[in-house]
Chain A
Amino acid sequence: MVVADTERLTAKTFGVEDSHPDWCGGCGDFGILSAVKQALAQLGRPPHEVAVISGIGCAGKLPHYINSYGLHTLHGRALNVATGVKLANQNLEVLVAGGDGDGYGIGAGYLVNSGRRNLNIAYLIHNNGVYGLTKGQAAPTMRRGQKTKGMAEAAIQESVNPIGLAIASGYTFIARGYAMAQRDLVSLIVQAVRHRGTALIDILQPCPIYNDLMTIDFFRGRDVGHNRIYRLTDEGFDGRVHDPSNQDEIVAKQQAAIAKSFEWGDRIPTGVLYQLDAPTYEDELAGRLPELGTSSLLDLASPGQDISRLQDAYR
């Protein structure tokens, strides 16, 4: 493999030739993959400085189609693995990807606790409402009372509110995207990666095989006569906290984001719901050991460290 020429990074630079997506025709994952590659090209980091860490499910296959370092991990554990990767080598640009079952269901505890840490990583959640790879069971985002054609009975569990959960968990960049709105999604991913801190994008996507409720036609709003998906910026919504030292502004922006998170039905908001500049976990570590402000653990730690002083403390 040749080392990429960072001068001429394009979406193609981040493509691979020896692996082809086995997603179904019409799957939203194609849109997300395309947006990720375009965003990476814009971000300007060469492929070997990028690591894509994913969970299990259709979304989890994403790193196989990207020219970068990648780990296709376990169901619900992508954030854990990504945390280890990022802390070992802070110079890596770490993207995390997984489905809604992966993030809001089996990995919900890790989603919450990763928000508390605020590592400098970006987390893309492919939200299609169902467990596709296991043939269409309801995901945690499936609303109570809903029933897809593949479900035997309607859902009797309440759905999780991803944006509200992210706010409550401490994420410092929270956005919603739509897999079929490419240009907006590319922009959101670029912003998410550039954000210092943990960014979460809940990306709505159709599952053409198992979710006959969240279809492209649904998002287009054929039934209501207008596109359901709209941009928050078009309504002048500004989720960014402009003065991070102002606790009142933080609370107000969080409340506004939560209020928007309940908007679902005829209109579905997309864009940045919340953003706060706050110290990252890496900042906190550098506070303990200043060398970590400029170097990664990979560079600093080596075997054979002198321990005579440590041993003497027990004499």
Chain B
Amino acid sequence: MRPPSSEKTMNENALSWMIGGPALTGGVNRSAELFAKACSRAGLYVFSNIEYHSNIMGRHISYRVRTSDTPVHSHLEHVDLLLALDAETLFGTPEYQDYQRHGGHLHRVAPDGVVILDAKAKVDHSAIERDDIHVVALAYDDLVRESVEELGVTYNARRHSVMRNMVPIGASCALLDFDISHVLSLVAEVLPAHRQDMVEMNRHVLLHAAEQARRAYAKEEFHVTLRPRPERSGHMLIKGVDAVGIAKIHAGCAFQTYYPIAPASDESVMLEGHQTSYPIVVLQAEDEVASMNMAVGAAHAGVRAATSTAGPGFSLMAEGLGFASITEAAGPVVILWQRGGPSTGLPTRQSQQDLRFALQPAHGEFPHIVVAAGDAREAARITHMAFNWGDRYQMPVVVMADKFIANSLVTLDDLGLDELPIDRGEYWTLEMNGSEPYRRHRLTESGISPRAVFGTPGGQYVTTSDEHTERGRIDEQVENRMAQMEKRMQKLELAAEEIPAEWQYELVGPDDADVTIVGWGSTRGPIVDALPELESRHGISANFLQIRLLRPFPAAVVRETLERARRAIVVEDNYMGQLGLLIAEQTGIKLERMALKYDGRPFSQDEVVEAVCEHNEADLGRLVLSHP
């Protein structure tokens, strides 16, 4: 796809920006997050997402920042400004390097866009072959050296060259006519404690780079400018992993287990940092089997417990999920940060491949709740509710998110947690039984048996992963088996009745539309952003059915919505169209139109627009997208 041509008119605050360079040594993350934060502090809405390899040092990272005057939740295909820390950012890796080859990002630069690059890098300018874009070449290292020396410090390449990453940031501010003080004031915040002596130097590099870029950029005005909106400067800028961590603390989660895995561990690492301030223990277990079963034990002992993982770890959690369910543990809450599978797959890349697995994660038939979050805020709020449901329905709850939510930064007012209800479910007390022995799995009308937390006087009980009686004793008798199976599965029906509609699904946009986009999870961002674009640029009225609750499945409302839909398209980050299959299974409606991506990259807003336009013109059936 050719980059959509950018507006020739001035675009105030609508920017698509990207920085690229090598992992670790490039300082790509720090500079992108600095710029994103500066934009957020300036009152702009920001969405920022990263692509990186499963590699510590050297492999290519690209980090996007998109800004807007209205909320944004996704990235665009084109970039207005491309900041290159190396030639690879422009051209990719050479053909002969077939390992982790990529084609660079030069082709993403929109007409009239600008590439900022290092004048001393081995960049063959003739290879750029784009006369519709502008190149600003700055001598990164010289600029850093001059800045350092101006402060009376002896330049030391090993120590100072890391500040190269500030050069294109300073240059960006100049081109965008963005008040650089927003960046300067953040330098001290983003630099780690052991680098605080370099705050002044970094600021100096930024100022110096801005000044030189202004001189080097021939055109008078760049077509995008950033104007601060001070009235909105109190926004949060947060990643999904951190939003979920905060939600767990808010929910009173006392015990979090994990085994290191991308992209999930960031959440646990964030929580580890708060163990001295909140009553939460984060335990790094020996594997995900241990993580899961520790969390189940803690849930039985009465605390809110959670674990967090990605697909490979979730595979190991299978038996523990079944165990939690048959023993009617109150939880735990499992956050499944999906990444590209199968097997080790694409450890740091996006996918929504684990839906079918999450729906049937272990052998046998058992109840559990599966709910998918569409963005960081939803992930936080759903996590909060997941603890309520775990306590109330006494079953594990799987919250599905993914790499796109985990790693992307998004502007939010707040996480919206304070207004959510707290429900710890039904407890057993000694007074409830009189002289009768406590029955942990008592058959009740609702299917829920009030639970005695370990340590409750008089509530001693045993329960087991074997089929068991109301008292929790191993039992293989026919009537008891049927009664306990029915009791457990009945709780799912109760959950389906009780869980409020807003947690089950949302219909975004007009009630009646030409096109109904159907999706789950993080495709929400690009889809929601695409709706106004489809209407205003392409004259297509579209709405979006986002399904949050995947088990128990809101079959009736989905069927009803799809029966009304004139043209339904299911959009998913996977090969099989797994939500489409689930809808067919649950409603009998087979959605023929699919827009699928399984290249390990998230949908962009443009890709959703493209998919809907193409499907709107012809009956394409299965449409596969990728924009390498």
Q: Which residues of A come within 8 Å of B, CB atoms? A: 1-3, 18-19, 46-49, 51-53, 56, 61, 63-64, 66-74, 77, 80-89, 91-92, 109-110, 112-113, 285, 288-289, 291-292, 297-298, 300-305, 307, 310-311, 314-315
Q: Which of B242, B424, B474 is the one whose CB lies under 8 Å from A61?
A: B474
Q: Which of A19, A110, A298, A307 is the one whose CB lies under 8 Å from B455?
A: A298
Contacting residues, chain B, for A88 (C-beta < 8 A): 254-255, 297-299, 301-303, 305, 454
Asked whether B513 is an interface residue with its Cβ less than 8 Å from the other chain, the reply is no
Pairwise interchain contact B387-A72, C-beta atoms closer than 8 A: no
Q: Which of A64, A80, A300 is the one whose CB lies under 8 Å from B254?
A: A300
Question: Other than the known A72-B462, A110-B286, what 19 A-B pairs have Cβ atoms closer than 8 Å?
Answer: A1-B436, A61-B474, A63-B462, A69-B459, A70-B462, A71-B327, A73-B293, A74-B320, A80-B285, A80-B294, A81-B294, A87-B294, A91-B455, A297-B303, A307-B417, A310-B249, A310-B274, A314-B236, A314-B242
Pairwise interchain contact A81-B417, C-beta atoms closer than 8 A: no
Pairwise interchain contact B296-A81, C-beta atoms closer than 8 A: yes
Pairwise interchain contact A289-B424, C-beta atoms closer than 8 A: no
Asked whether B463 is an interface residue with its Cβ less than 8 Å from the other chain, the reply is yes
Pairwise interchain contact A311-B414, C-beta atoms closer than 8 A: yes
0 or 1 for each of B246-288: is its CB under 8 Å from A? (1 = yes)? 1001111111010000000000000000111011110101110
Which residue of chain A has its CB nearest to the CB of B438?
A1
0 or 1 for each of B316-349: is its CB under 8 Å from A? (1 = yes)? 0001100100010000000000000000000000
- Complex Cα distance, B456 from A298, in Å, reads 12
- Complex Cα distance, B297 from A122, in Å, reads 16
Could you name 27 residue pairs across A and B whose Cβ atoms are closer than 8 Å? A1-B435, A2-B435, A18-B473, A48-B455, A48-B456, A64-B473, A66-B462, A69-B460, A69-B461, A70-B461, A72-B462, A72-B465, A72-B466, A77-B290, A81-B294, A84-B298, A88-B255, A109-B286, A110-B290, A113-B290, A289-B275, A297-B281, A301-B278, A305-B252, A307-B249, A311-B236, A311-B414
Asked whether B620 is an interface residue with its Cβ less than 8 Å from the other chain, the reply is no
- Complex Cα distance, B494 from A41, in Å, reads 43
Contacting residues, chain B, for A92 (C-beta < 8 A): 301, 454-455
Q: Which residues of B come within 8 Å of A, CB atoms? A: 234-238, 242, 246, 249-255, 257, 274-276, 278-281, 283, 285-287, 289-290, 292-305, 319-320, 323, 327, 387, 414-415, 417, 422, 424, 430, 433, 435-438, 453-466, 471, 473-474
Pairwise interchain contact A288-B275, C-beta atoms closer than 8 A: yes
Q: Which of A47, A84, A289 is the one whose CB lies under 8 Å from B460?
A: A47
Contacting residues, chain B, for A69 (C-beta < 8 A): 454-455, 459-462
Contacting residues, chain B, for A314 (C-beta < 8 A): 236-238, 242
Q: How far is the CB of A142 from chain B (nearest CB, A)?
A: 25
- Complex Cα distance, B178 from A197, in Å, reads 60
Which residue of chain A has its CB nearest to the CB of B424?
A303
Pairwise interchain contact B236-A315, C-beta atoms closer than 8 A: yes
Contacting residues, chain A, for B292 (C-beta < 8 A): 80
- Complex Cα distance, B292 from A46, in Å, reads 29
Pairwise interchain contact B289-A301, C-beta atoms closer than 8 A: no
Contacting residues, chain A, for B281 (C-beta < 8 A): 87, 285, 292, 297
Pairwise interchain contact A301-B253, C-beta atoms closer than 8 A: yes
Number of A-B contacts defined by CB within 8 Å? 216
- Complex Cα distance, B433 from A2, in Å, reads 10
Q: How far is the CB of B469 from chain A (nearest CB, A)?
A: 9
Pairwise interchain contact B465-A298, C-beta atoms closer than 8 A: no
- Complex Cα distance, B289 from A77, in Å, reads 8
Pairwise interchain contact A301-B465, C-beta atoms closer than 8 A: no
- Complex Cα distance, B319 from A74, in Å, reads 8
Pairwise interchain contact A73-B250, C-beta atoms closer than 8 A: no
Q: How far is the CB of B480 from chain A (nearest CB, A)?
A: 14
- Complex Cα distance, B415 from A166, in Å, reads 47
- Complex Cα distance, B460 from A84, in Å, reads 18
Q: Which of A2, A51, A81, A297 is the one whose CB lies under 8 Å from B293?
A: A81
Q: A80-B294, A84-B295 are in contact. Are A304 and B460 (CB under 8 A)?
A: no
Q: How far is the CB of A240 from chain B (nearest CB, A)?
A: 28
Contacting residues, chain B, for A300 (C-beta < 8 A): 254, 279
- Complex Cα distance, B422 from A2, in Å, reads 32
Pairwise interchain contact A310-B299, C-beta atoms closer than 8 A: no
Q: Which of A73, A85, A87 is the one whose CB lies under 8 Å from B465?
A: A73
- Complex Cα distance, B466 from A64, in Å, reads 12
Pairwise interchain contact B255-A49, C-beta atoms closer than 8 A: no
Q: A73-B465, A298-B303 are in contact. Are A84 and B297 (CB under 8 A)?
A: yes
Pairwise interchain contact B303-A301, C-beta atoms closer than 8 A: yes
- Complex Cα distance, B238 from A71, in Å, reads 40
Contacting residues, chain B, for A304 (C-beta < 8 A): 250, 252, 422
- Complex Cα distance, B276 from A241, in Å, reads 33
- Complex Cα distance, B236 from A298, in Å, reads 32
Contacting residues, chain B, for A3 (C-beta < 8 A): 430, 457-458
Which residue of chain A has its CB nearest to the CB of B239?
A314
- Complex Cα distance, B305 from A53, in Å, reads 18
Q: How far is the CB of A78 from chain B (nearest CB, A)?
A: 9
- Complex Cα distance, B252 from A181, in Å, reads 47
- Complex Cα distance, B234 from A260, in Å, reads 67
Q: How far is the CB of B59 from chain A (nearest CB, A)?
A: 28
Q: How far is the CB of B86 from chain A (nearest CB, A)?
A: 30
Q: A48-B460, A89-B454, A311-B246 are in contact. Are A303 and B297 (CB under 8 A)?
A: no
- Complex Cα distance, B276 from A291, in Å, reads 10
Q: A80-B297, A297-B254, A305-B250 are in contact. Are A1 and B323 (CB under 8 A)?
A: no
Contacting residues, chain A, for B253 (C-beta < 8 A): 301
Which residue of chain B has its CB nearest to the CB of A17?
B437
Contacting residues, chain A, for B457 (C-beta < 8 A): 3, 46, 48
Contacting residues, chain B, for A72 (C-beta < 8 A): 462-466, 474
Pairwise interchain contact B237-A289, C-beta atoms closer than 8 A: no
Contacting residues, chain A, for B274 (C-beta < 8 A): 310
- Complex Cα distance, B573 from A75, in Å, reads 36
Pairwise interchain contact A73-B303, C-beta atoms closer than 8 A: no
Instruction: Give me the 3 closest cross-chain CB pairs, A-B, nearest first.
Output: A84-B297, A70-B462, A301-B254
- Complex Cα distance, B247 from A310, in Å, reads 10
Q: How far is the CB of B300 from chain A (nearest CB, A)?
A: 6
Q: How far is the CB of A112 from chain B (nearest CB, A)?
A: 8
- Complex Cα distance, B453 from A303, in Å, reads 16
Which residue of chain B has its CB nearest to the CB of A55?
B465
Pairwise interchain contact B294-A84, C-beta atoms closer than 8 A: yes
Query: Which residue of A69, A89, A91 has the most chain B CB atoms within 10 A of its CB atom?
Result: A69
- Complex Cα distance, B435 from A70, in Å, reads 20
Pairwise interchain contact A85-B474, C-beta atoms closer than 8 A: no
Contacting residues, chain B, for A19 (C-beta < 8 A): 473
Q: How far is the CB of B491 from chain A (nearest CB, A)?
A: 20
Contacting residues, chain B, for A297 (C-beta < 8 A): 254-255, 279-281, 298, 303
Contacting residues, chain B, for A85 (C-beta < 8 A): 297-298, 300-301, 454
Q: How far is the CB of B51 from chain A (nearest CB, A)?
A: 22
Contacting residues, chain A, for B290 (C-beta < 8 A): 77, 80, 83, 109-110, 113
- Complex Cα distance, B251 from A53, in Å, reads 27
Contacting residues, chain B, for A83 (C-beta < 8 A): 283, 290, 294, 297
Which residue of chain A has its CB nearest to the CB of B456?
A48
Pairwise interchain contact A303-B417, C-beta atoms closer than 8 A: no
